[in-house]
Structure 1
Amino acid sequence: MEIMLYLAIILLATKLLGDLFVRLGQPAVLGKLLAGILIGPAVLGWIHPNEFISIFSEIGVLLLMFMAGLETDLEQLRKNWKSAFAVAVGGIILPFIGGYGAASVFGLSNNQGLFLGLLLCATSVSISVQTLKEMDRLNTKEGTTILGAAVVDDVIVVVLLAVMMSLLGTGHDISLGLLIGKKLLFFVVAIVVGWLAVPWFLKLFAPLRVTEAVISGALIVCFALSYFADLMGVAAIIGAFAAGIAVSQTPFKHDVEDRLEPVAYSIFVPVFFVSIGLNITFEGAANQLLFMGVITVVAVLTKLLGGGLGAKLTGFNGRSSLAIGSGMISRGEVALIIAATGLESGLLQQKYFTSVVIVVILTTLITPPLLKMFFSGEKKRGNQASKENG
């Protein structure tokens, strides 16, 4: 019965703090993230990370990315693939250099510096997706560029991680050809399944004389592609995003969107937001304040400038470029997974692990207000231009 109490506390905290932050002019998601810190081990200690939270949050982030796929304009995504690639590459090169340089300053070994640089290359746009949805900017040119860049970033970082683990002799021998082959296989299967199998499957599944057959069919597609993505070494959220795009190309798009959103946002997505804050603990953090401060600044600026430069070089104006760069800042669950891998392999020292987790969460907290600032500025600039032309 403890689960019921956890859910009651999580839902109450996320809704109240989400509303408070909207009244303060900030995205609701920022309040929901802070709710996790408030009710978690860092402050009140009412809720601690456990298997129930982990499972619910995983479902929550998959549903969040699935709905992002549902709302994505595929034509816009195709048009912006060059920008997405440039943003991803810029958002990998600068963080890698910055992370390695910062590690050298703090006396970390060469291998540990390389690993920290790689960790800062990671991007998780699940929080950016929610913020853009709240601002109704997910389906803009900037929004689709951020989504496309996140897919490219994930593939490159996972391949680099495998290469690093192999070259530094901290893991099993890994065939680079097999690794890249698995990634390519995922995208080929995702495209073929999305184009041919998903419309056929939903068309057959929809007439079943059971309740909510269409929604169930869409969720089957979402979870199956997420599992396959994870199996192929691609982040499960990329599989969920691909599933959303596939379903969006069918006549069932609006039905699935209208019925699934209330379920996701009433229970699963709030647990995901809270789970991020639950990972924060300030135990021993006082001794690492300078390290955390420097790495956080490096993490934010290198993604902002690296991603922004990629956008600028492919035709975006300055404000839009910074908006896109800010959408890539959150490291989220992708970086947490990499950090855990580094701890296990010895490339990330135990004494720095908590600090790195806090840095990852700080990047996630910083992202929503930055997105709002740059996108709001872009909107005002557009409105001013319209008035002048009018």
Structure 2
Amino acid sequence: MEFILYLVMILFFTKVAGDLSVRLGQPAVLGKLLVGVILGPAVLGWIENTTFIEQTAEIGVLLLMFIAGLETDLDQLKSNWKSALAVAVGGIILPFIGGYGAAAAFGFTHSHALFFAVLFCATSVSISVQVLKEMNKLSSREGTTILGAAVIDDVLVVILLAFIMSMLGQGSDVSLGVLVGKKVLFFVITIAASIFVVPPMMKWLSKLKVTEAVITMALVICFGFAYFAEMLQMAGIIGAFAAGIALSQTPFRHDIEHKIEPIAYAVFVPVFFVSIGLNVSFEGIGSQIGLLVVITIVAIVTKLLGGFAGARLTGFNNKSSWVIGSGMVSRGEVALIIAATGLQGGLLLQEYFTAVVIMVIITTLATPPLLKILFSEKSSASTKSVDQSSNM
């Protein structure tokens, strides 16, 4: 029954920490993330990262991205695809160069430095999604651009990772053509299912004389899309996001959103936030402080500038471009998966794994306050310009 005690602590402390964070002028998610660090192995050691935590957290992040898909303005997403592509590309080029340079400066071999470069390119916007939701900005032009860029980033980084590992002799059986084909297949089948399968299925199920048939089927579609994405070597969160967008085009959108959010935010999403902090451990980090500081600064700055450049080049003003860049900073669970892959393949040495994990956690912790500050500055600037116009 130990997992029940873990659940009690997670649910209680995340709500208290979230409230305290808001009172201090920060997004609630920042407090929830810190709960994982404090209750986990890094500080108090009250909660361990068990299989139960990992699996519950996986459901949490899938539901979080599913809700993001439900709330996404599809027309806005379509109109901003050029900006999303530019932000994703900018958020890969600069981190790749910065990651390779930082690794080379610390004496890494060419192959290890190349893997570091790929690791720096990863983006996970699950935390950004939560901050944008709290600020009611998820459907804004900046919010939809961040979401679109994250989807493109995921595809490009997985292809880049496969290419690098094949080139370095790790997993040389991976065919780049097959990998790209799987990505194309995922989007073709997902789009076709969203148009021709999901709407009639939901309409038919809504007539069943059973309890919550629509909500249950929405969850089936969410997890089904996520599993299909994983099968084709995409991140499951992309599948869940796609499922949310598919269901957002049906008449059941608001009913699903209204009933899924309590399920997600009461149990699963808090566990996901805490699970990120549970990966932190300060054991043996004393000898790598220099490396940790450098890679963390490079990781944050290169993503911020890369996202900014992509947004600026496609018509966003400076304020909005900084917001978009900050929304791409978090590496989250995507980078942790890549790091674990590198560790297994010998491209990331065990001695550097802890520093990488802490870097990932810091970029994730830095994202909520960055977004809050930059969005607040953008809103203030917009208010001033409106006031000045009205006074003229």
How many residues are aligned here?
390
Tell me how far apart the structure 2 counterparts of residues 127 and 95 of structure 1 sit (CA, whole Å).
19
Instruction: State how 1:89-108 maps to structure 2 within 5 Å.
Output: 89-108=89-108
Amino acid at match of 1:178: V
2:190 paired with 1:190: yes
Output one character per residue of 1:251-274: Cα deviation in whole Å (capped at 9) or x when no partner: 000000001101100000000000
Task: Describe how 1:246-325 pairs up with structure 2 within 5 A.
Answer: 246-325=246-325
After superposing on structure 2, the runs of 4+ consecutive aligned residues of structure 1 that deviate more than 3 Å are none
Alpha-carbon separation, structure 2, partners of 1:11 and 1:35: 10
Q: How does 1:132-171 map to 2 (within 5 A)?
A: 132-171=132-171
Distance 1:323 1:382 in 2: 14
Letter in 2 for 1:113: A
Say if 1:206 and 1:217, in contact at 8 Å, map to a contact too.
no
> In 1, Cα distance between the equivalents of 2:207 and 2:272?
33
Q: What TM-score do you get using the length of structure 1 for normalisation?
A: 0.99
Name the counterpart of 1:22.
Answer: 22
Give the secondary-structure state (helix, strand or coil) at the position aligned to 1:279. coil
Aligned identity (percent) is 64
Amino acid at match of 2:130: Q
Structure 1 unaligned runs (5+)?
A: none
RMSD over aligned Cα, in angstroms?
0.6
Question: In the TM superposition, what are the counterparts of 1:331-350 in structure 2 within 5 Å?
Answer: 331-350=331-350
Partner residue, 1:327: 327
Quote the residue 2:176 is aligned against: 176
Residue of structure 2 in register with 1:380 after alignment: 380
Q: Shift in Å at residue 357 of structure 1? A: 0.5
Structure 1 residues 138-164: Cα deviation after superposition (integer angstroms, max 9, x where no partner): 100000000000000000000011111
1:3-41 residue CA offsets vs partner (Å, 9 max, x unmatched):
211111001110000000100000000000000011111
SS in 1 for 2:49: coil
C-alpha distance in structure 2 between counterparts of 1:132 and 1:141, whole Å: 12
Q: Show the 5 A alignment for 1:66-77.
A: 66-77=66-77
Whole-angstrom CA distance in 1 between matches of 2:3 and 2:361: 25
Q: How far did 1:389 drift? A: 1.7
Deviations 1:93-150 (A, max 9, x none): 0000000000011000011111001000000000000000001111000000000000
Q: Could you tell me which residue of structure 1 aligns to residue 126 of structure 2?
A: 126
Matched AA of 2:129: V
State the AA in 2 paired with 1:9.
M
| Other-structure match for 1:215 | 215
Q: 1:350-369 CA deviation, whole Å, 9 max, x = no partner?
A: 10001101100100000000
Q: Does the 8 Å CA contact 1:330/1:360 hold for their aligned counterparts? A: yes
> Which amino acid is the alignment partner of residue 311 of structure 1?
A
Q: What is the alpha-carbon distance in structure 2 between the residues aligned to residue 209 and residue 288 of structure 1?
A: 61
Mapped to 1, the partners of 2:86 and 2:106 lie a distance apart of: 31
In structure 1, give the amino acid aligned to 2:220: I
Corresponding residue of 1:85: 85
Matched letter for residue 132 of structure 2: L
What code does the residue aligned with 1:123 have? Answer: T
Task: Name the SS for the 1:284 alignment partner.
Answer: coil
With normalisation by structure 2, the TM-score equals: 0.99
Rounded Cα–Cα distance in structure 2 between residues aligned with 1:184 and 1:170: 24
Report how far residue 172 of structure 1 moved. Answer: 3.6
Task: Describe the SS at the equivalent of 1:59.
Answer: helix
1:204 alignment partner, SS class: helix
SS in 2 for 1:86: helix
Q: How far apart, CA to CA, are the structure 2 residues paired with 1:262 and 1:154?
A: 28
Separation in 2, partners of 1:229, 1:343: 23
Structure 2: runs of 5 or more not aligned: none
C-alpha separation in 2, matches of 1:224 and 1:62: 11
